[in-house]
Amino acid sequence: MNEILNIQEAIAKLKMSIKEADSSFDNLMMYGDEWASPNWEIERCFFQLLAIAEAMGLMELHKMILLEYSAARDSNEKFLAASKTPDGEPYSLIISRIRQFLHAIQQFYPTKETATITKDVLQILRDIHYTITDKALFLRVPKDEKDVHVRIEGILKCVFPDLKHKPVLTKAIKNFEPDTGIPSIKTLIEYKFLSRVEDIPLIADQVLADTRGYVSKEWSRFIYLIYETNRFRSEKQWIQLMRQSEVPETTTIVVLSGEPSKRGNKKNTTRKKTVAGQE
């Protein structure tokens, strides 16, 4: 039974890693941000896939995954091979193959419901940017942390009716009060508003300090949502900070940028430079 639970947890973590790789790939395509290169995340996904296949005894599948990984690693494009959807948007061929392998594995060990829902809330938070900055709905873009908090909670409440505004985590000496709690998926969300590059160290210190206090048996997932008024740091850089600080993977960061997406010539130039031959 424990072995099954361990594999289910490994699959859930792999799905989160794929989501992070997707986000980095999209940032690279949209902004040409070299820091957003998904190579590291994609390679991590392959390692996770290989470990899961070996733990399950699926040695033929393990060989297929290893061959796919080796071919991508040794190619000229490395892990940046891309194609286009029918509407012209680029997508990662390598990440698509990783999803195919994951789908095959999931037929043996479907993930736990809570992990699937947690993945969904991450996707909701990443997509929510267009709603909370829509001037047809709001007179202006968010001007502070309270704006971000109130607007996102209003949307999440429709999906998670058990959502709690500023739930209290009682400790022996000091109580902690995260911004949002969703008991049904054991997830806490904390919002940060970043308007000046000079405030990056302060926000980093706040996030790392919070990770020490947000520990409770009632909550197993922790999400920090950073809203930037301009493009300051990529989501990958924030996640690297967390991992380098030995914060566990049950804690993650979502970055929303108030800066409009640069979907013009720069994006196309970046594609030609990084995925030559895929036009």
| CATH class of the 1-111 domain in this structure | mainly alpha
Range among 33-42, 162-171, 173-182 with highest mean pLDDT value = 162-171
Q: What is the pLDDT of residues 223-273, one digit of tens each?
A: 999 999 988 888 888 888 888 888 888 888 999 987 544 444 444 444 444
Dig out the tokens for 165 from the structure.
């505004």
Looking at per-residue pLDDT, the higher value among 136 and 273 belongs to: 136
Note the Cα 271 to chain centre separation in Å. Answer: 22
CATH 3.40.1350 assigned to domain 112-263? The reply is yes
Nearest Cα neighbor of 250 from 261, 260, 259, 239 is 239
CA angle 126, 37, 17 (to 5 degrees): 55
CA distance 45 to 27: 18
Single pTM value for the model: 0.54
All structural domains of the chain with their residue ranges: 1-111, 112-263
Residues with Cβ within 8 Å of 213's Cβ and at least 6 positions away in sequence, in order, are 169, 171, 174, 176
- Strand boundaries in 159-211, DSSP class E: 164-165, 180-182, 187-194
pLDDT on residue 273: 41
**What residues contact 164, with CB distance under 8 A and at least 6 apart?**
180, 181, 182, 183
- Is 112-263 the same fold as 1-111? no
